[in-house]
Chain A
Amino acid sequence: MNADLEKLQESNKTELERRGSIFNIGAPATEAVTIRDQIAVGFGDGSVRFFQSGSDPKTVKAHKGVVLSMTNYEDHVLTGGDDGRFLKISSDGNIDEIFNFGSKWVDCVASHKDTKVCSSGKNVYIWTKNKDKPQTLEHQSTVAGLAFDNKGKRLAVSRYGGVTVWKLNNSKWISSNFTWKGSHGTVTFSPDTKYIVTAMQENQIHGWRLNDKADLAMRGYPSKIKSFTWVGNTPYLVTSGSSDAVCWPFDGKEGPMGRKPIVVANGGKELATFVKALNGEKAVFTGFTDGSVLLAEIDESKKPIMIRSSTGSEVSTIAISSDNSQILIGDMKGSILLSSLWVDN
C-alpha cells in the first residue's frame, strides 16, 4: 500500500498554507457552509463566524453551547444548537430565533428554497413560506439526519431502523419507510434522486434504490463513517471512515451493487474523517485524523496533492466557496485554514 500522506508530510508547509490565513478559534469547528463569497463556520463555543478572503472573520454569538447543525438558506444560515434554539442568521450578525425547544437539542437542520426544517428529538418541524406555525412530522426514534432531494419534493429522515422518506403531495407530507436493522445517521439523496444512502452506527453505509427499495450494503470500513460527498458526473459517493477516501460508483442501473469501490488519497495510518467534492471536477478533498488534507482525483493511478499538513487534530469540516476560488478547512481544536485554491487569485 502506498502511504501518500507519509511521503508528502516530509515537505512541511503546503503551498496553500503559505499563501492562506490561519485562525485559531479555540473551539471545535462543527459545521461549515458557503453563502455567496463567504464561508460560515459553526463552533463548539456557540459562535458562527463568517470568513471571507482578505478580511478578518465576523463573529456572531449565536448559541449558548455547541452549534450542532447548520445549512444555508437564501442569504442566511440556519443553525441548530444544544441550547434548544433554531436560528436564522445573516452575515451582518442579525439573529432571528425561529423556535426555542428549551432543554431539547436541535440536532439536524435542512432547507430548500423558502422552506426551513429542523429536528429535535423524534420530531421534524417544517416551516413553509408565510406560515408562522410549523408542520410536525413524527418518528418512532430520535432523528439523526435530514436531506431534501434536489427538487425539494422529498425529505429523507434517518433514524433507528431505517429512513422515512416524506413526499409532498398537495401540500401534505406522505411517508414511506425504508427499513434496515441498526441505527442510521447522516442521510443523502444521490444527485439523480434514484438512491438514498445513510451512514450507520456500525462501520458501514447503507443505501436503497428508491423505486423498488432494493438494499445496498457497503461494508468493510475500519471505523464509523462521519462524512460523505457526491463527486463528478458518474457520480461517485465518496466516504470517510477508512485510511483512504472510498469512492462507490452510482452509475448504471445497479449502482454499486456487486462492484468494488475505487480508493484514493491514502492516509497511511491516519483515517479519513471528512470528505468534500471539488465542484465540477472528478476530484475530492479528504481530511484525516491528524488534521492533514489531500486533494485527489477519482483515479487510482493519479497522485494526490497535499493541501494542508498535519495539525494534530482531526479535520471536522471542509467548505469550498461557491466560485471554487477559496477553501476553508477546520479541525477539532478550532484551527481554521482559509486559502485560495489557485495561484492566480
Chain B
Amino acid sequence: MENTSQVPVTVLTGFLGAGKTTLLNRILTEQHGRKYAVIVNEFGEQGIDNDLVVDADEEVFEMNNGCICCTVRGDLIRILSGLMKRADKLDAIIVETTGLADPAPVAQTFFVDQDVADRTKLDAIVTVADAVHLSSQLVDHHEAEEQIAFADVILLNKVELVEDNDIVKVNDRIRKINPFAKIIKTTRCDAPLDEIVGLNAFSLDRVLDIEPDFLESDHDHEHDDDVTSLSFVSDTPLDMDKFQDWFGNLLRTKGQDILRSKGILNFKGEEERYVFQGVHMLMDASPMGPWPKGKDRSSRVVFIGRDLDNMNLKEGFENCKSA
C-alpha cells in the first residue's frame, strides 16, 4: 500500500575509499533546506559531526521465517523505529553500509519488517564506485560485484583520475553486471543531490522505466561465479498460472543466486500491466494500470545474479507463454 507519510530511505554502499564519506559530508553540510538523518557505520573514518548522525553497528539477523537466505539488519529495525518517534518530520534517511557489506540484508529489511515497511520505504540503493580501482576490486572482492549488482544508481567517482577510454571500459564492465542502474560520472561525488536522494527507485512504478535497449545482454564472462544479468522480452501474452508457478519456484530454489529481479508482464485476458521487483527470495508485485494506448504490450523481465545460465531462465520464461 502506498503511504504518503513514509520516509524515503537511501542506502549508500561502496568500497572503502570510493568517496562515501565525501558524499555524506555533502549531504549533511550543503544548504538543501531538507532534514536528513544519516545512519553511519564507519564512524571515525573521517569525522562527521551532526545531530542527525546515528552511530550503528551492522547487525545481520537471520529471520526464522522459513526463507533460507532471509537476513535483515537488526540495528536498522531498531534505529528506524526510533527515528520514526521523532517529533520533527525527516525528509529522508540515508544509511551508510560498510565497504565490505552485502547490500541484501539492508534491502530485505524493508520487505520483512512490517513497522519499517509501514513508516519508511526503500528509496534507492546508491553505490559509489572508484573509477580508478573498481576493475581490480571486482576481481578480488565479490562484495564489490554485489554492490554494483544491487545498485539503482552508481556514482562512478574520481573520473578525473582516469583516461577517457578506461572510463568507457569501466562503464561497460558495470553494464555487464547491472544493465538498469543509472550511472553518473563524478569528481568528488559532485552529482546533484536530487539525483541521489528521493528517487523512488524501488517503487513498482519505476519498474516500467526499464529501457528496451538494456534488454540486449551479451554474457561472455570469465568465471561461473561472476554476477551477470539476463533479460527476456515476449510479445506473446503470458499465462498467469504458469508464470506464478515458474517464478515462485525459481525464487524459492534459486533466490540465493538471484540478487535482483524486475519485470513488466502482459498476462492473457488481463487489461492491466503487472509489475514486480525482487531482492533474492523476496518480491513485491501488483497490477499497475492499463497498457498505454498504441504501444506494444510486451512482457519484459530482467535478472541480475550468479550462475544465471544454469537456471534455464529462457526456457522457463518461454514456457509461460499462453498457448
Contacts and interface: CB of A to CB of B under 8 A. Distances in A.
Contacts of B65: 202
Residues of A contacting B: mostly:
loop
Contacts of A66: 82-83, 85-86
A103 B54 contact: yes
12 contacts: A26-B87, A28-B85, A43-B87, A45-B87, A82-B54, A107-B82, A122-B57, A160-B74, A182-B63, A183-B61, A200-B64, A201-B63
A103 B115 contact: no
Contact of A103 (B55, B64, B82, B85): B55
Contacts, number: 74
A268 B22 CA distance: 51
Interface residues of A, number: 34
Please tell me the size bucket of the interface on B.
Answer: 20 to 34
Instruction: List the 3 shortest-distance A-B pairs measured between CB atoms, nearest first.
Output: A27-B87, A45-B87, A103-B55
Contacts of B87: 26-28, 43-46, 334
Given A182-B63, A202-B64, A202-B65, A30 B78 contact: no
Interface of A: 26-28, 30, 43-46, 64-66, 68, 82, 102-105, 107, 121-122, 141-142, 144, 160, 181-183, 200-202, 223-224, 332, 334
B54 A105 contact: yes
Contacts of B78: 107, 142, 144
Interface string B66-107: 000000101101110011011110000000000000000000
B278 to A, nearest CB: 21
Nearest to B51: A64
Contact of B63 (A45, A103, A202): A202
B115 A142 contact: no
A142 B57 contact: yes
A224 B118 CA distance: 13
A65 B52 CA distance: 9
A12 B75 CA distance: 41
A44 B55 contact: no
B55 A201 contact: no
Given A46-B87, A160-B61, A182-B62, 4 more contacts: A28-B87, A44-B87, A104-B55, A105-B82
